[in-house]
Amino acid sequence: MKIFILSFLLCTLLLLPLTTGCVFAQEAPQSEPYKTALRTSWGEKVNAENAWREYPRPQMKRENWLNLNGLWDYAITDNKQSETPEEMEGQILVPYALESQLSGVQRLLQPTEALWYKRSVELSPASGKRILMHFEAVDYDCELRVNGISQGTHRGGTPFYFDITDAVNEGDNELLLRVEDPTDDWQLRGKQVLEPRGIWYTRVSGIWQTVWLEEVPEAYIADLHFTTDAAAGTIHLTASLVGAKSDNLLSVSVRSGEDIVASGTGPASGITIPVSEPICWTPDTPHLYQLEIALLSDAGEAVDRVSSYTGIRTVGKTRDENGHLRFTLNGDIIFHWGPLDQGWWPDGLLTPPSDEAMRWDIEFLKRAGFNMIRKHIKMEPRRYYYHCDQLGMLIWQDQPSAAHGPKWTFLKEDPIDAEWPDEHHNQFMTELEGMMNALKNHPSIVVWVPFNEAWGQHRTLEVGKWTVERDPSRLVNIASGGNFWPVGDIVDFHRYPDPDFPFDEERYHDYIKVVGEFGGHGYPVEGRLWNPDQKNWGYGKQLPKNKAEYEERYRRTLEGLNELRKAGIAAGVYTQTTDVEIEINGLLTYDRAVEKIPAEELHTMSRVLFED
């Protein structure tokens, strides 16, 4: 209990600067982030020609597109300035954030400043075609101008696009993006803060995921939505259209490998396609069906084509022989075992150095015996979930959080909610819906997590009921480790370093019981520290004296989780995949160079969680 109290006090102290109203003497803002010597092996290979060249939206792919990653001009001005800067300050490598090593800049954007991006692109607009400009993620408020004409604004870290057709000329075109990123107050920002310390990390500003152009016809498929039924062996598809009516027909073919196994034609408002003898998607058999989808004209001609994929699976819950609620996948009980995964990198910060690097993390976790990842208060590039779909990894997806939370009472009765003004609550919901919409078709995602602990937890019942209704095909963990309200499917408790759960059969009878965070054992690896001159830390009373003690602590907490599993716990989340800045409680070092416990050993130890 003493260890838990020390960990809790540490977290509380780390949270204080975000939740109190203390006023301190103002110092000149720091202009540069801490410049670590760490760099990943993938980051060493990054240059302007190879930076994130992959197609960014694998579940709705067209052939005619243009990647705009690479070197852009940039400038920083006072945020009161709305006119384009007369001179740019240098070049920045997109899609890496201003503060990162890989951007080539490593400059902190202040709340009083604006960041400007500029580049030219040569285009030849085709008659009867539209040009869409996509941004996969920008922090935080931005405006796009094309040839001096404003195309619109966006707020938040979710994907968005603008139809820039009417502003585009034959030949060279100027693209200008203006960004502000306060990283403060009501903003949804996850672990980013103005002053990094402990569990709070270096801020990320500006473009931090792929920028790209896409050519589409006048009538085109703007979005797709799949739902599947494992028992019935069906794929149900709806499509949102632009320039066409919702009753326009779609032609759909379904392939398994090279073989066409099903096809159908029906209205974009809804078509169900049965698949004979379906191969269901699971972590052990992550089978994906490839889809070719065409939008048909009234004459029956294809006017737009996209390729996609899906996995046939059904997410659910059931009671075991002892009456405990358990997760199910395709009707079978499955124990969820995964790490807390924050997706931070020493060279790219929130942006993985490459697609290969991002996939490597998932592959390591598969080798280590995990079947689930809790993606912690960050939305990854859409290709991350594509890799999880391919490799067979379940995902609990967190909503990025903000401050302004209530008192954290864990699972005590009579919780309270923070008071959020309508303006900020509406933005929270806009970003939650944007995330869910962007990721809705990935079979790997099985749980939505609107709140983490009590961070920004507000209107919990309203948010929970909305999330359940918005996506009945998945389960909802309303507040991982936060204040418990009776909504959604899951009750979640956090306990460091040893897992525990305050069983209360009456209160939690209708909820799946999980330990959403535990462990966090710190172990420093010399030469692999973000800042060797700063005190690095992990959860617990003190760091282990040697590797053998570190491994014994890990084994002990795993045994504790297994005892809880036998008592009714349906999932465990170990903190965490990698070290992050001065947090050294990862299974991997921050640069991914050292497996603190080899993946094969982790896999062997975890087998106890899947034995009867």
For the residues 540-546, what does the mean pLDDT come to? 89
Q: How many domains does the chain have?
A: 3
607 falls within a domain: no
Average pLDDT, the chain: 94
Q: Cβ-count burial of 397 within 10 angstroms (0-12 exposed, 13-18 middle, 19+ buried)?
A: buried
Residues 6+ apart with CB under 8 A from 455: 377, 401, 402, 403, 405, 482
Q: Is the pLDDT of residue 18 over 70?
A: no
- CA count, 13 A, side-chain hemisphere, 321: 2
For the residues 406-418, what does the mean pLDDT come to? 94
304 falls within a domain: yes
Nearest-5° Cα angle at 410, 409 to 415: 50
CA distance 283 to 394: 7
| Cα 197 versus chain centre, distance | 22
For residue 28, the model assigns a pLDDT of 58
Coil/strand/helix, residue 572: strand
| Closest to 117 in 3D by CA, of 85, 80, 141 | 85
| Closest to 339 in 3D by CA, of 476, 198, 477, 517 | 517
Coil/strand/helix, residue 102: helix
Do residues 271 and 323 both lie within one domain? Answer: no
Do residues 277 and 202 both lie within one domain? Answer: no
CA distance 238 to 261: 20
Largest CA distance in the chain: 75
For residue 246, the model assigns a pLDDT of 83
Tell which phi-psi region holds residue 156, choosing left (phi > 0), alpha (psi between -120 and 50) or beta: left
Show which of 197, 217, 237 is a domain's final residue. 217
pLDDT digit string (tens) for 94-113?
999 999 999 999 999 999 99
Q: Is the pLDDT of residue 8 over 60?
A: no
Q: Is the pLDDT of residue 23 over 50?
A: no
Write the DSSP symbol of residue 571: E
Show which of 165, 185, 217 is a domain's final residue. 217
Task: Provide the domain limits for residue 29.
Answer: 7-217
**Pair 585, 571: CB distance under 8 Å:** no
Do residues 351 and 287 both lie within one domain? Answer: no
289 falls within a domain: yes
Do residues 187 and 228 both lie within one domain? Answer: no
CATH number of the domain within which 96 lies = 2.60.120.260
Q: Is the pLDDT of residue 468 over 70?
A: yes
271 falls within a domain: yes
For the residues 213-229, what does the mean pLDDT come to? 97
Coil/strand/helix, residue 124: coil
For residue 27, the model assigns a pLDDT of 52
Do residues 265 and 347 both lie within one domain? Answer: no
CA distance 503 to 561: 14
| Closest to 456 in 3D by CA, of 426, 491, 482 | 482
pLDDT digit string (tens) for 319-336?
999 999 999 999 999 999
| Closest to 582 in 3D by CA, of 522, 541, 540 | 522
Do residues 335 and 434 both lie within one domain? Answer: yes
Q: Residue 247 — very low, low, confident or very high, per pLDDT cuts 50/70/90?
A: confident
**Pair 448, 438: CB distance under 8 Å:** no
> Taking the model in full, what pTM does it have?
0.94
What sign results for the dihedral spanned by CA atoms 236, 241, 245, 249?
negative
CATH number of the domain within which 252 lies = 2.60.40.10
Do residues 211 and 224 both lie within one domain? Answer: no
| Closest to 368 in 3D by CA, of 195, 140, 168, 604 | 604
63 falls within a domain: yes
Show which of 310, 338, 358 is a domain's final residue. 310
Pairing verdict, β 234-242 and 271-274: antiparallel
For the residues 258-277, what does the mean pLDDT come to? 96
Q: Residue 3 — very low, low, confident or very high, per pLDDT cuts 50/70/90?
A: very low
Q: What is the 3-state secondary structure (H, E, C) of 2-35?
A: HHHHHHHHHHHHHHHHHHCCCCCCCCCCCCCCCC
Coil/strand/helix, residue 322: coil
**Pair 329, 446: CB distance under 8 Å:** yes
**Pair 559, 550: CB distance under 8 Å:** no
pLDDT digit string (tens) for 516-529?
999 999 999 999 99
| Rounded (10°) CA dihedral 502, 508, 514, 516 | -70
Q: Is the pLDDT of residue 341 over 60?
A: yes
For residue 11, the model assigns a pLDDT of 45
CA distance 407 to 418: 8
559 falls within a domain: no
**Pair 485, 460: CB distance under 8 Å:** yes
Coil/strand/helix, residue 398: strand
Q: Is the pLDDT of residue 7 over 70?
A: no
Do residues 505 and 391 both lie within one domain? Answer: yes
What sign results for the dihedral spanned by CA atoms 350, 354, 357, 361?
positive
CA distance 458 to 36: 37
For residue 2, the model assigns a pLDDT of 35
Between the two ends of the chain, the Cα-to-Cα distance in Å is 29
Do residues 135 and 246 both lie within one domain? Answer: no
543 falls within a domain: no
Q: What is the 3-state secondary structure (H, E, C) of 281-313?
A: CCCCCCCCEEEEEEEECCCCCEEEEEEEEECCC
* Bridge partner list, 416: none
Do residues 344 and 234 both lie within one domain? Answer: no
Q: Is the pLDDT of residue 21 over 70?
A: no
For residue 541, the model assigns a pLDDT of 82
Q: Is the pLDDT of residue 4 over 70?
A: no
pLDDT digit string (tens) for 43-52?
999 999 999 9
For residue 31, the model assigns a pLDDT of 84
608 falls within a domain: no
pLDDT digit string (tens) for 349-396?
999 999 999 999 999 999 999 999 999 999 999 999 999 999 999 999
Do residues 243 and 264 both lie within one domain? Answer: yes
CATH number of the domain within which 514 lies = 3.20.20.80
Do residues 76 and 93 both lie within one domain? Answer: yes
Q: Is the pLDDT of residue 19 over 90?
A: no
**Pair 303, 219: CB distance under 8 Å:** yes
**Pair 110, 29: CB distance under 8 Å:** yes
For the chain, give the percent of residues with pLDDT over 70.
Answer: 95
Q: What element of type H or E holds 382? A: helix 382-391
For residue 509, the model assigns a pLDDT of 95
